[in-house]
Structure 1
């Protein structure tokens, strides 16, 4: 029963001045449900109103309306009807017990296998606050929230507001400013904590007790990133940081990478790995920290009215995340991960049937389930890229002037695209509204082509309708940079006479969102010397161009893999190595390589990684190549040597890399169940739990696949174990063994996905990771004719389009 746009508008028309008192009982004498009493105060506009509160899956529900006990109040398992309310103030009290969950959608609970400690977290979001407490679960009914929590005395409880008192397991928090219920958070457990003060505010980083050593290892870096971003936002934004504290918690089981809860941001605790932190994760982690802090203004202070304006939060936070990670925290390579790792996904998304404008119309998002499908690469990565182009086009000073007008005008209120455009219009003498119509209200992307005239002069052509301001960089035949300049590309061709005879790369720093195609001269230089191009961002743009050509079938998978084999060993960026390998294994192999040819592709990639590892010039590069080798090699002896020495040459074998090697050895049939169990006993924590599940599922036997299927089809399986077992199950090179499970996945996944929006995304991401046969593709089409959860349908339709 997903909230509809019509219901949200009707409710917002009669309800105002909302506040909540929430009292949570997390006493562990009942490990299946928690207790919650919610007191909701609000005003009804005249004359009278019928409306409802949401509360999902409540048990023992008791409802009191303005002091009158109404029993269960007509509660139907999802909603509490409120009928005939007179104009004026009302108070509703709802008492209930509500189930804990293990799928990350609600009051998530996890017992840490490393030490037996339990953690509980209220992970909210779209249609999820109602799984915690009774509420008007929509963005434009912002409310203050006063929270009290009863928890085991040894626990620390964190929430949106600063702690006012905590005695013998009873916690009371400062009442929040006006926020949507979707931004409510609680994180409870025996946290390891690192606390300090900065700019007059209390700050903290927190992680599971079993990760205390890793938190201590990274605390100085995490603090420096936090302070650098905070201080930089203070320079960019005129509105001060709006909340009373800033905690950041690395929590178990979170479905998103992170969530921007005011005053208490949550991150998946995989961002705090054991062993050395890989370069790409360090850069991405810094960008995510900046991204979530940006949300304190974009989303938490000024909040979208309805979900069509998801971009008003996510596009801005994505853009600001990479920008501020570089300029505020000094992580200047963070943008590279966007250009080569995430922007390609936005190009893929924008050519599917499910594409949508960065800013769709409200009516195009009729309910919250539909809204869940647009938290995607278009709202994040394309929106980020479009905003980069807007800043390039407007100028930074003008852009920030408009942003500050918008934030001040809608502080603790709700806003729409028109509100933001009006603020930019006031700041600029350019035609912002026309720009917005071209870029934000339409789908697809332009193509910028390089051609040559008779004299060998490169000429830029635009196929499309949008104006682009981009950097063009010229190279000699040895891929050495000769010159670079910003140019405007619109309706008329743009000749570049000073670059006659040279290779040229348009959009060389990724300033816009457009496909690029090169002329023969430029393409030859790229094919023979991509790894010699000095600038990281330009290499990222070129790799993205190659990804695009494989997806559109202009470049065969064999040719692409050959380019990877020739260029990847000479790559200087660990982030680039990881991104290219992830794309090749995660997109090219399962979408373009017939199952019978997969082993040959893996062997080619393994050879490239082995060469790269042999010549790696830094530990970060060595780790990236070693990870790729562990995923692809067909010779067990080197991997067995790694396990025996607990090292890769001079490089210590980090737990994550060790488990990759174990999983590959299991997939090759080298490690049996007993050997995997021994590895699990060696690593008794959560990494070992999911690592062993993936390895057991990867074994090339019918029994192993049947056992894995039993794990994932358990209705109570948690999200992390499900993902790990599915990743191991779909090991490349086992197509015949996996064929029955393709059919079983198509038949059973809809039931699994019914657990909730976020778990449906987990189920959709677990789609068979092998190229489907024609018959299997036909069965996918047949499945799409049936009744499917909205989120899963979107993911399956996307997969079908990607196979085209």
Structure 2
């Protein structure tokens, strides 16, 4: 399919006005297709021409204003419409194909019971796989849907059900105007739980195989949903605008969730079947709040084009974190944001593929897809937090409500939003937006400290720098935290100092005059409270105090910032990975915030897999394992901290006798349940280490014949230290069009193992020919995800970089290939630098 260009979208928006979609789907047929009939009504400039997107297996009929269209009008997944009238009716009937990629109408057969489940995912341009459409965000229209489904199925959609089901036909009331990428439905023998809150009907859906788990968790899910609705109603003048609020947990979903109005869709891993940590429950709550924020930012007011994606994702990321902290029991979400989400944005922002939060050059939908990254989500949210610090919360919320009132059920742009907040705050935000939203990359803030002979500050200067290729300095409103280590072993924050970092100061140097003459703190933390978005580097004395102070700090956000600064310095090659693992051993067992533990272990393990030389990696991994062992020993049995420590120990451990014993229930730490997912994690590690083989994998799968079991088995098969297993896994990744998106992703996850470099290194050569070919056959989100996961990042060698350079030099490579290879090569570059 040709990517829709911005010029084409602008021309089409100037030509047509869409008045409605009436879509009828018949899901009762056999095989891999379904039937779709659509009546699309729209106004147009008389005599003009345009096109709709459409991807049928067979076009059965198409009429425009009663006249049959020639079959040749459909080419390259576009149906050309000529000689339009002032008012037009397009009627199209076709056979459409189910998907196994998580796009279009995805079909899943549950291995647990052979039941069939469907869900529609239109994002970003997948609506053409279900019905003919003007597939761009600024051509919104009401949708009337009817679905004929097999007996015993449940169907839910954006609109509320209209009347009783008649002969298997489900009818839904017309919706408010929707962008095409929000139109959705689920269909199948879904299990349902219902409730009501503040006049809003609520529902939860999942597969029958997960029904008992949903029933156990429904009260928590409904409680979080109600708390978030109440808080949004407190801060927004417009109540939830789409009638009912349904949340469907569906299999093999590509994203964490999707904000379809009236029927929000989540990946069904959020219905937990095994023990999880409080950090994972917090993450689920934040995703619920994030998708709910989209009902205003994205659904009620929709971006006009994909360059304003930040109006959707940055606001949902910011509000999802904020509302979860304000309305639910998970009050520490800003710690998680600093540790995990903002760090994700910072990594993306330092890659060669970086782009502004609000880029002005998104010329087509292919480029738009690539911008769904840590910049559009997490960096944008961090920038919004800085905006709130700059204009004040009252003015910020007033501006948002003004924005909703002006653009409800329509479209808006960056200029519209800035105008609203400028009016409410009385500040001209144009220069602020230029520096923060229109320019890429990030600044580094360093404390430059001079002390007097008696231990006082002679001078404290915040030095702001920017990379040479992106030399933008920005205004930063931030805090400095002064932390002292007392004789009683307690660390206290003496005070917070508010600082306005001036981008126009000489040499990027902002003097903190308020600290002159004050007793020097043991640790001076730049950006305490995490109000701004920047890399932070501590002064030498403060950096030296981190191992002593970090385990004793009460403030989890301050601890997250110190961990984040340490990890970032290692990633940048400023500090060795050996220093990191030593700090992990010293401080992580004392950490009280499970989200911090999980993310430190995840990041450290990734660095240990790539940054040390192969001969020194085992020693680094052993220190990580020791830290996890200590954490398990001191954590309360059955606690989230204990579970996080056990998982970390499994991932870093090499004691196969101990791990095999756990799998048999021997010497398991008290409080740890070796449930389905923990069993698979143990087995996966044993497979990687060569202590379990194919027979054990198949036996485990026979005991866990589930969707999750199949994914775990695919990951384990790919991890087998066997040449035949690697060949089979690579063939599946690169050639199999029948495998689902999730099986391919699991296989790619298991393939590259630093313990198996002799086996996998030859595949680094093959990646640069086989993966671009795979993306020709499997374009879109599913293919991109596999390409990212399958990148040979563990083959840290100049040859890997040379192969990347040769591919990037080829003319005509796709934007997806270019982005994935540029970013993967940057990871290898950093690892080589660390080894050097």
Provide the TM-score with structure 2 as the length reference.
Answer: 0.93
Structure 2 partner of 1:782: 806
The verdict on how the C-alpha distance between 1:430 and 1:377 changes in structure 2, with shifts beyond 3 A counting, is: same
For residue 50 of structure 1, report the CA deviation from its aligned partner. Answer: 1.1
Matched, 1:134 2:132: yes
Structure 1 partner of 2:450: 453
In the aligned structure 2, how far is the partner of 1:430 from the partner of 1:481? 37
For residue 37 of structure 1, report the CA deviation from its aligned partner. Answer: 0.8
Check conservation: 2:764, 2:795, Cα contact below 8 A.
no
For residue 472 of structure 1, report the CA deviation from its aligned partner. Answer: 2.0
Structure 2 partner of 1:798: 823
For residue 604 of structure 1, report the CA deviation from its aligned partner. Answer: 2.2
For residue 352 of structure 1, report the CA deviation from its aligned partner. Answer: 2.0
Structure 2 partner of 1:660: 681
Matched, 1:726 2:768: no
| SS in structure 1 at match of 2:460 | strand
Q: Deviations over 1:453-486 (max 9, x none)?
A: 2324161414153222223221124571232324
For residue 73 of structure 1, report the CA deviation from its aligned partner. Answer: 5.3
Out of 633, 638, 650, the residue aligned to residue 653 of structure 2 is 633
1:683-698 paired onto structure 2 within 5 Å: 683-698=704-719
Check conservation: 1:62, 1:95, Cα contact below 8 A.
yes
Check conservation: 1:599, 1:733, Cα contact below 8 A.
no
In the aligned structure 2, how far is the partner of 1:725 from the partner of 1:554? 34
Check conservation: 1:107, 1:132, Cα contact below 8 A.
yes
Check conservation: 1:103, 1:759, Cα contact below 8 A.
yes
Matched, 1:605 2:624: yes
In the aligned structure 2, how far is the partner of 1:500 from the partner of 1:600? 37
Q: Deviations over 1:50-75 (max 9, x none)?
A: 11000124423421111112242521
Structure 2 partner of 1:475: 483
Structure 2 residue runs without a partner (length 5+):
466-472, 503-509, 830-836
Check conservation: 1:118, 1:189, Cα contact below 8 A.
yes
Check conservation: 1:312, 1:417, Cα contact below 8 A.
yes
Check conservation: 1:340, 1:544, Cα contact below 8 A.
yes
For residue 636 of structure 1, report the CA deviation from its aligned partner. Answer: 0.9
In the aligned structure 2, how far is the partner of 1:628 from the partner of 1:101? 36
In the aligned structure 2, how far is the partner of 1:727 from the partner of 1:578? 19
In the aligned structure 2, how far is the partner of 1:792 from the partner of 1:194? 43
In the aligned structure 2, how far is the partner of 1:524 from the partner of 1:469? 26
For residue 723 of structure 1, report the CA deviation from its aligned partner. Answer: 1.2
In the aligned structure 2, how far is the partner of 1:142 from the partner of 1:579? 40
Structure 2 partner of 1:34: 34
For residue 32 of structure 1, report the CA deviation from its aligned partner. Answer: 0.9
Aligned residues: 798
The verdict on how the C-alpha distance between 1:499 and 1:19 changes in structure 2, with shifts beyond 3 A counting, is: farther
In the aligned structure 1, how far is the partner of 2:481 from the partner of 2:379? 23
In the aligned structure 2, how far is the partner of 1:176 from the partner of 1:479? 58
For residue 501 of structure 1, report the CA deviation from its aligned partner. Answer: 4.0
In the aligned structure 2, how far is the partner of 1:433 from the partner of 1:637? 63
In the aligned structure 1, how far is the partner of 2:589 from the partner of 2:813? 44
For residue 771 of structure 1, report the CA deviation from its aligned partner. Answer: 3.9
| SS in structure 2 at match of 1:652 | coil
| SS in structure 2 at match of 1:94 | strand
For residue 596 of structure 1, report the CA deviation from its aligned partner. Answer: 4.2
Out of 435, 438, 444, the residue aligned to residue 432 of structure 2 is 435
Q: Deviations over 1:406-458 (max 9, x none)?
A: 01100011100000011011101223222212211222222221122232416
Structure 2 partner of 1:149: 147
Structure 2 partner of 1:701: 722
Matched, 1:92 2:113: no
Deviating more after overlay: 172-181 vs 641-650: 641-650
Structure 2 partner of 1:487: 498
Deviating more after overlay: 224-233 vs 719-728: 719-728
Check conservation: 2:689, 2:755, Cα contact below 8 A.
no
Out of 753, 756, 760, the residue aligned to residue 783 of structure 2 is 760
In the aligned structure 1, how far is the partner of 2:190 from the partner of 2:698? 29
The verdict on how the C-alpha distance between 1:621 and 1:83 changes in structure 2, with shifts beyond 3 A counting, is: same
For residue 545 of structure 1, report the CA deviation from its aligned partner. Answer: 0.8
| SS in structure 2 at match of 1:345 | helix
In the aligned structure 1, how far is the partner of 2:618 from the partner of 2:807? 30
In the aligned structure 1, how far is the partner of 2:519 from the partner of 2:432? 30
For residue 630 of structure 1, report the CA deviation from its aligned partner. Answer: 1.1
In the aligned structure 1, how far is the partner of 2:374 from the partner of 2:758? 33
Check conservation: 1:753, 1:763, Cα contact below 8 A.
no
Structure 2 partner of 1:245: 244
In the aligned structure 2, how far is the partner of 1:112 from the partner of 1:12? 42
For residue 791 of structure 1, report the CA deviation from its aligned partner. Answer: 2.1
Structure 1 residue runs without a partner (length 5+):
none
For residue 536 of structure 1, report the CA deviation from its aligned partner. Answer: 0.8
For residue 656 of structure 1, report the CA deviation from its aligned partner. Answer: 1.8
Check conservation: 2:581, 2:623, Cα contact below 8 A.
yes
Matched, 1:563 2:583: yes
Structure 2 partner of 1:181: 180
For residue 18 of structure 1, report the CA deviation from its aligned partner. Answer: 2.9
Check conservation: 1:680, 1:692, Cα contact below 8 A.
yes
Out of 388, 391, 394, the residue aligned to residue 391 of structure 1 is 388
Check conservation: 1:448, 1:460, Cα contact below 8 A.
no
Deviating more after overlay: 525-534 vs 201-210: 525-534
In the aligned structure 2, how far is the partner of 1:18 from the partner of 1:479? 66
Out of 757, 772, 793, the residue aligned to residue 796 of structure 2 is 772
| SS in structure 2 at match of 1:470 | strand
Matched, 1:508 2:493: no
Matched, 1:337 2:331: no
| SS in structure 2 at match of 1:167 | coil
For residue 520 of structure 1, report the CA deviation from its aligned partner. Answer: 1.5
Check conservation: 1:280, 1:575, Cα contact below 8 A.
yes
Check conservation: 2:340, 2:599, Cα contact below 8 A.
yes
The verdict on how the C-alpha distance between 1:581 and 1:57 changes in structure 2, with shifts beyond 3 A counting, is: farther
| SS in structure 2 at match of 1:21 | strand
Check conservation: 2:24, 2:146, Cα contact below 8 A.
yes
In the aligned structure 1, how far is the partner of 2:490 from the partner of 2:353? 38
| SS in structure 2 at match of 1:670 | coil
Structure 1 partner of 2:399: 402
Q: Deviations over 1:509-546 (max 9, x none)?
A: 21110111111221111133322222111111111111
Check conservation: 1:592, 1:771, Cα contact below 8 A.
no
For residue 648 of structure 1, report the CA deviation from its aligned partner. Answer: 4.1
Structure 2 partner of 1:736: 758
The verdict on how the C-alpha distance between 1:67 and 1:405 changes in structure 2, with shifts beyond 3 A counting, is: same
Check conservation: 1:14, 1:44, Cα contact below 8 A.
yes
Out of 525, 545, 548, the residue aligned to residue 525 of structure 1 is 545
- RMSD between superposed Cα atoms in Å: 1.6
| SS in structure 2 at match of 1:143 | coil
In the aligned structure 2, how far is the partner of 1:411 from the partner of 1:486? 41
Structure 2 partner of 1:578: 598
Deviating more after overlay: 119-128 vs 466-475: 466-475
In the aligned structure 1, how far is the partner of 2:633 from the partner of 2:177? 56
Out of 523, 530, 546, the residue aligned to residue 566 of structure 2 is 546
For residue 769 of structure 1, report the CA deviation from its aligned partner. Answer: 4.1
1:204-283 paired onto structure 2 within 5 Å: 204-283=203-282
Provide the TM-score with structure 1 as the length reference.
Answer: 0.97
In the aligned structure 2, how far is the partner of 1:591 from the partner of 1:367? 35
The verdict on how the C-alpha distance between 1:590 and 1:783 changes in structure 2, with shifts beyond 3 A counting, is: farther
Matched, 1:589 2:613: no
Q: Deviations over 1:245-275 (max 9, x none)?
A: 1100011111111000001100011111212
In the aligned structure 2, how far is the partner of 1:454 from the partner of 1:569? 33
| SS in structure 1 at match of 2:557 | helix
Matched, 1:19 2:2: no
Structure 1 partner of 2:832: none
Structure 2 partner of 1:419: 416
In the aligned structure 2, how far is the partner of 1:137 from the partner of 1:306? 11
In the aligned structure 2, how far is the partner of 1:301 from the partner of 1:109? 29
